[in-house]
Amino acid sequence: MEFRFRNKAEFMDKLEDLFKSGVSPDQTKIVMPHPDHDIEHLVEEYTSPSPLKFFTLIGGLTGCFTGFFIAVWTTLDWQLVTGGKPMWSLPAYVVIGFELTILLGALSSVAGLFLMGRLPRFSKMTKPEDYGNEFVIIIDED
Amino acid sequence: MSTHITGGSEAMRSGDAAFQGKEKMERDVFAAISKPKPVFYMALLLAVSCVGIGASSLAWQIYNGLGVAGIMNPVGWGVYITDFVFWVGIAHSGTLISAILYLFRAKFRNRFNRTAEAMTVFAVLTAGLFPLIHLGRIWLFYWLFPYPNQRLLWVNFKSPLVWDVFAVSTYLTVSVVFWYIGLVPDLAIARRLKAGWQKTVYGIFSLGWTGTFKEWQHYNQVYKYLAALAAPLVLSVHSVVSWDFAMGVVFGWHTTIFAPYFVAGAIFSGCGMVITLMVPMRKIFSLEEYLTPDDFEKLARLLMLTGLIVSYAYIMELALAVYTENVYEYEQFVYRLTGDYAWAYWTMILCNVISPLTLFVRSLRRNLTYLFILSIPINIGMWFERFNIIVISLAKDFDPFNFGLYHPSWVELGITLGSFGWFFTFFLLFTKTIPVLPVTELKEELE
C-alpha cells in the first residue's frame, strides 16, 4: 500500500494514524524529499534513535590513542634529543592526538552512515525509485 | 494501492505552495549546471593558462634547483610560505560558515555553505602544494609522514612543521568528507533531473540515495557530528599554522596572540573570498531570489567583526613591542612601520583596517557591487599580512651582519599566479557540475 503526499501536515497525520492503528515502523518505508525534525521526532516515538554516535565516539577515542601512541612510541624507538627539548614532551603531542581524534572520529562517523544506512546501494545508482518532492509512505503488507 | 492526496484546507494549500516552491527551486538551481556558455570557456581558458604559467615556473625550478627562487639567507621563507598561509586562511571560512553556523542554527548559512565548502576544499588543495614546492625536492614529500624506513628514523613530533602536516591533512580529509556527505542528497536530485551519461555519473556519486527515513535519520546524525568535529578542527588548524611561526624565537613571531590572531584573520580573508566568488555567481546564474542583500549583509557583518578583531591584533602587536621593553622586538616593529617594506605594511593597514570600516554604513553593507569591490583589497591585504609577518621578521635578524632584503623572483610570482589559476579552475568546474546552492537544505526552510 502506498500513500503519496505533497503536503507535510497531511503526511504526518497519516503517518501518526498508521502507527496508532498498530502498523509497525519496521513494515513501513518512509521516503522524504528532505530531512525534517518534526517527522524525525514523530517516527522516533515509535522507533529507536540512530546509534551513530557510538561510531563517532569509538573512532574519536581510537584516534586520540593512536595519535599519542605513535608520538610516544617513535620517541622511545629512536631516542634523539632535538632542540634541547625533553624526550617526553606530552604537550607537543596533544596536537597529534587532537588531529587524529578528529580525523578518525569523522571517518568512522561516515563509515557508520554507510553501514547503518546501507550505502552505497549499487542497484539504486542507475535505477532509483524517485518520488521527487513528495512525502511517501509504503506499507509492506506481507 | 497508490493514493495521491491533495486538498483544499489552509494547511494543505500552504503545503502545496511549499511543494511548488521546492519544484521551482530545483529548476532554478539546476539550471546553473546546464550547458556552459562561451564566457565560461573563456574564463576556464584564462584559469588554465595561469595554471600553465605556474606549472612551467615549477618545472623550471625543479630543473634548475631552488636557487631560482628569491628566497635566501636570512629570508628562507618567502612568497611560497606566504601563499601557503594565505590559501589555508581562505580555506577557513568555508568550514566556519558551514560547521559553526550550522551548530548555531544560523539560517543564512544555507545560502553560502555549498560554495564556501567548495572554496575550502579547493583552497586547501592549493595551500597543500606550497610546502611541497618549498621543499625543492618535491618528490621526497613523503618524508614528512611517519613510516618505517631503512634509516630507522621517525619524524620529530615535537616540531610544529610536523603538527602542520597532520593538521592540514586532517583538514583536507574532513573538509572533503563534510562537503561530499552534504552533497549526496543533491546529487540524487541531479540523478533524477538529468538524462543519459550524466544520469549515470550522478547516480554513482549519489551512492544510490533514495531518501528513506532511515537514510535521513543517520544522515542528520552524521552531519551534526561532522559539524561538531569540524568546528574545533577549523580553530586548531590555523592555530597550528600560526605556531609554525610563534614557536620560533624570531621577533614579530614569538608571541602568544598568534593563534587567535591567525584564526580571526583566516575567517576575515575567507569571508572576503566568499563575497568575491558569490556576488558574480549570483548574477551569472540568476540566483537573486535565493541570495538576497539581507543574506550578504549578514556576511558583511561577519566580515566587519573579524576585520575589527584583526585590527585589534595589529594594535596589540605594536603595544606588546612597546610595553615589553624588548629592544629587538621594538626595533622590529619600528622597521615594519618605517623600513624597507613599509609600503607592504601600510598597504595591509589600508586594506584590512581602514577599508572594512566603511561597512559600518548599512547601505554599503547591502550594496553588493560595493561588497564585491571591497572584497578585492581585503584579499590583497590579507596576502600582504602574511608577507609582512614572514618576510619582514626574517629580513631583520638579531645580528646586523645577517640583515638582508628579499625580492621574489619571477619563478615565485609565476607559481603564485598558477595557484590562483589552479583554484579558479577547480571552482569554475564546480559551478558547472554541482548545484551551487544546497537545494535539500533550502527545501527544508520552505516547510
For residue B6, what pLDDT is reported? 44
B225 contacts in A (CB within 8 Å)? 52-53, 56, 105-106, 109
The total of structural domains in chain B comes to 1
Mean pLDDT of chain B: 90
For residue B438, give its domain range: 18-446
Distance CA(B237)–CA(B243), nearest Å, equals 10
What is the sign, positive or negative, of the torsion defined by CA atoms of B230, B236, B239, B240? negative
Whether B167 contacts chain A with CB within 8 A? yes
Residue A142 is predicted with a pLDDT of 61
CB contact under 8 A, A35 and B154: no
- Residue B10: inside a domain: no
Average pLDDT score over residue span B46-56: 97
At B3 the pLDDT is: 47
DSSP label of B402: G
Say whether the peptide bond before residue A120 is cis (omega within 30 degrees of 0).
yes
Q: What is the CA radius of gyration of chain A?
A: 24
Confidence band (pLDDT; 50, 70, 90) for B402? Answer: confident
B37 DSSP assignment: P
The CATH number of the domain holding residue B303 is 1.20.1630.10
A50 contacts on B by Cβ (under 8 Å): 217-218, 220-221
The pLDDT tens digits for A22-79 are 888 888 889 999 988 889 888 888 888 888 999 999 999 999 999 999 999 998 888 8
The CA distance from B83 to B71, in Å, is 14
Contact A34 B217 (CB under 8 A): no
Q: Chain A: nearest CA to B163, how far in angstroms?
A: 6
Chain A contacts of B157, Cβ < 8 Å? Answer: 70-71, 74-75, 92-93, 96
pLDDT digits (tens, 9 = 90+) for B164-182: 999 999 999 999 999 999 9
Does B9 score more than 80 pLDDT? no
The Cα–Cα gap between B114 and B436 comes to 6
- Give which of B4, B12, B19 to mutate to test A binding, by max A Cβ within 10 Å: B19
The partner residue sitting opposite B157, judged by closest CB among A40, A52, A71, is: A71
Mean pLDDT value across residues B248-271: 91
Q: What is the pLDDT of residue B14?
A: 55
Percent of chain B's residues with pLDDT above 90: 67
Q: Give the C-alpha separation, B218 to B206, whole Å.
A: 16
CA distance B152 to B159: 18
B229:A106 CB<8 A: yes
pLDDT confidence of residue B319 = 92
What pLDDT, on the 0 to 100 scale, is given for residue A124? Answer: 78
Examine residue B442 and state whether it is found in any structural domain, yes or no. Answer: yes
Q: Is residue B357, in this structure, part of any structural domain at all?
A: yes
Determine whether the interchain pair B166/A92 forms a contact, defined as Cβ–Cβ distance below 8 Å. Answer: no
Q: How far apart (Å, rounded) are the C-alpha atoms in residues B354 and B389?
A: 19
List phi, psi (to 5°) of A139: -105, 125
Cβ neighbours for B87, distance < 8 A, ≥ 6 positions apart? B123, B124, B126, B127, B130, B419, B423
In a domain, B13, yes or no: no
Domain boundaries, chain A: 2-50+126-139, 52-116
Rounded to an integer, what distance in angstroms lies between the CA atom of residue B402 and that of residue B173? 41
**CB-CB under 8 Å, B443 with A34:** yes
Quick check: A52 and B167 CB within 8 A? no
The candidate with the shortest Cα–Cα distance to B118, out of B137, B150, B140, B95, is B95
Interface test with B, best of A7, A46, A116 (most B CBs within 10 A): A7
Q: Are A70 and A96 in contact (CB under 8 A)?
A: yes
Q: ipTM score of the complex?
A: 0.92
The minimal CB distance from B203 to the residues A56, A92, A125 is found for A125
Does the beta carbon of B105 lie under 8 angstroms from any beta carbon of chain A?
no
Round to whole Å and give the CA distance between B324 and B340. Answer: 24
Confidence of residue A131 (pLDDT cuts 50, 70, 90): confident
- In this structure, chain B runs to a length of 447
- Convert the pLDDT of each residue in B95-129 to its tens digit: 877 888 888 888 888 888 899 999 999 999 999 99
- The 10s digit of each residue's pLDDT in B130-147 is 999 998 899 998 988 888
From chain B, the residues in CB contact with A56 under 8 A are 225, 229
Closest C-alpha among B346, B282, B274, B345 to residue B306: B274
